[in-house]
């Protein structure tokens, strides 16, 4: 299969790597040569790390031989079976790219967007109806198994089934969301949890460090192997009903962004990208990211061994 990834920014290289490891020919396209060079370096480094961690025994040189970069979108997509758009969330930029894709892509090409929030098939209803929908990868996409496929009433169900199967062949765990909803699934669930954590922190009930420990040492520890509904079954639905009756009315239901977030944004404390957010980070953000990837790869090994039993 010929796969084209448009955009060599935060997500593009990782998405390209997913399909490379799945045995496909992949082209990554971007208007900036420097971005393509940096993206290529990211892919090579990530593949090398995966080999060293025992995630894959595929040969990096062989995999990279199936990879190309191009600044010409027309040349990149002329034989594409699948195009993944991973460019900035700016409607005017996306519109221009979609206009070009409509001119350059074969009629049967499936085109998906990696948008994390926008209802693009509704915004562009006349762009490849049926063959254009959302496939939202998680960061880092080459490691996190989940992909959210978001369809609507116009989406061709055969194309959704086809993409789901292809993603599974690449080692992903795709899910299908049957209609657009703001934030899709995982972002909604993560945002709900973050809102409560921010509320508890602002109230002085618990420290940042202890909040994160509660997540990694309990909630995240269990949810790596057991989903929300399975957890409720294990607890007992009668127990859940009793506890929720007590807790639900007391949960935070604010709709504004918490002041602690807006203040830090005003101060330029944006997190890893600026060296400080809620916590401070060393100057070498690339090293921090690689350490995070190494930890996630260890988790991926455990996850794969669990689901393949």
165 annotated ligand-binding residue = no
- Give the containing element (helix H, strand E) for 149: strand 146-150
Catalytic one among 2, 42, 85, 148? 148
The CATH number linked to 279 is: 1.10.1040.10
Instruction: Sort residue 57 into left (φ over 0), alpha (ψ -120 to 50) or beta.
Output: alpha
Q: Is 9 annotated in some ligand binding site?
A: yes
- Distance, CA of 163 to CA of 82 (rounded, Å): 9
| Contact of 5 with 84, CB cutoff 8 Å | yes
Residue 280 lies in a domain: yes
DSSP 215: I
| Statement: residue 309 has pLDDT above 70 | no
Torsion of CA 168, 174, 175, 180, to 10 degrees: -130
Domain check: are 124 and 10 in the same one? Answer: yes
Of 85, 136, 152, 166, which residue is the catalytic one?
136
Residue 46 in marked binding region: yes
204 is in an annotated binding site: no
| pLDDT score, position 159 | 97
Write the CA distances from 21 to 4, 17, 170, integer angstroms.
14, 6, 7
**Candidates 116, 156, 215, 285; catalytic one:** 116
State yes or no: pLDDT of 192 exceeds 90.
yes
For the question of residue 187 being annotated catalytic, the response is yes
Find the catalytic residue in 187, 202, 215, 285: 187
User: Given this model, what pLDDT does residue 217 score?
Assistant: 95
Examine the residue annotation and report whether 136 is marked as an active-site residue of this protein. yes
Q: Respond yes or no: is residue 152 known to be catalytic.
A: no
Q: Is 260 annotated as a binding residue?
A: no
Q: Count CA atoms within 13 Å of residue 96 on its CB side.
A: 8
pLDDT mean over 98-125: 95
* pLDDT above 90 (res 36): yes
Contact 202, 258 (CB under 8 A): yes
Is 25 annotated in the active site? no
Q: Are residues 173 and 195 in the same domain?
A: no
Residue 293 to residue 290: CA distance in whole angstroms: 5
pTM: 0.91
pLDDT confidence of residue 46: 94
Residue 295 assigned ligand-binding role: no
Token output for 116: 């994390």
pLDDT tens readout for residues 172-184? 999 999 999 999 9
Range of the domain at 227: 188-307
The response to whether 11 counts as a known ligand-binding position is yes
| Position 300 in a domain | yes
Specify if 219 maps to a domain: yes
> Taking Cα atoms as reference points, which of 47, 40, 46, 48 lies closest to residue 8?
40
Report pLDDT digits (tens) over 68-110.
999 999 999 999 999 999 999 999 999 999 999 999 999 999 9
Which residues, at least 6 apart from 260, have a Cβ–Cβ distance to it below 8 Å? 198, 201, 202
Same domain, 196 and 167: no
Instruction: Determine the longest span between alpha carbons in the chain, in angstroms.
Output: 61
> Distance between the two ends of the chain, CA-based, in angstroms?
29
**Domain assignment present for 183:** no
* pLDDT tens-digit map of 263-302: 999 999 999 889 999 999 887 767 787 888 888 999 998 8
């Amino acid at each position: 299969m010929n796969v084209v990834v448009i955009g060599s920014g935060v997500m593009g290289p990782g998405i390209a790597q997913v399909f490379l490891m799945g045995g496909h020919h992949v082209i990554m396209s971007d208007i900036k040569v420097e971005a393509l060079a940096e993206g290529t370096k990211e892919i090579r480094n990530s593949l090398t790390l995966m080999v060293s961690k025992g995630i894959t025994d595929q040969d990096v040189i062989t995999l990279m031989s199936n990879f190309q970069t191009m600044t010409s979108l027309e040349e990149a997509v002329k034989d594409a079976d699948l195009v993944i758009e991973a460019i900035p969330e700016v409607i005017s930029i996306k519109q221009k790219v979609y206009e070009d894709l409509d001119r350059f892509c074969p009629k049967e090409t499936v085109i998906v967007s990696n948008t994390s929030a926008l209802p693009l098939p509704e915004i562009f209803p006349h762009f490849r109806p049926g063959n254009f929908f959302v496939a939202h990868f998680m960061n880092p996409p080459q490691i996190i198994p989940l992909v959210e496929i978001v369809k609507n009433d116009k989406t061709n169900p055969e194309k959704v089934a086809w993409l789901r199967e292809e993603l599974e062949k690449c080692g992903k765990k795709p899910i299908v969301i049957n209609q657009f909803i703001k934030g899709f699934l995982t972002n909604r669930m993560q945002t709900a949890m973050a809102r409560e954590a921010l509320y508890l922190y602002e109230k002085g009930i618990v420290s940042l460090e202890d909040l994160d420990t509660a997540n990694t040492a309990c909630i995240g520890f269990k949810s790596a192997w057991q989903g929300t509904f399975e957890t409720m079954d294990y607890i007992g639905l009668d127990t859940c009903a009793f506890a929720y009756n007590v807790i639900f009315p007391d949960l935070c239901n604010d709709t504004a962004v918490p002041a602690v977030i807006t203040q830090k944004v005003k101060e330029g404390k944006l997190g890893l990208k600026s060296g400080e957010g809620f916590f401070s980070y060393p100057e070498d953000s690339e090293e921090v990211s690689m350490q995070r990837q190494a930890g996630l790869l260890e988790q991926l090994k455990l996850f794969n061994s669990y689901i393949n039993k």
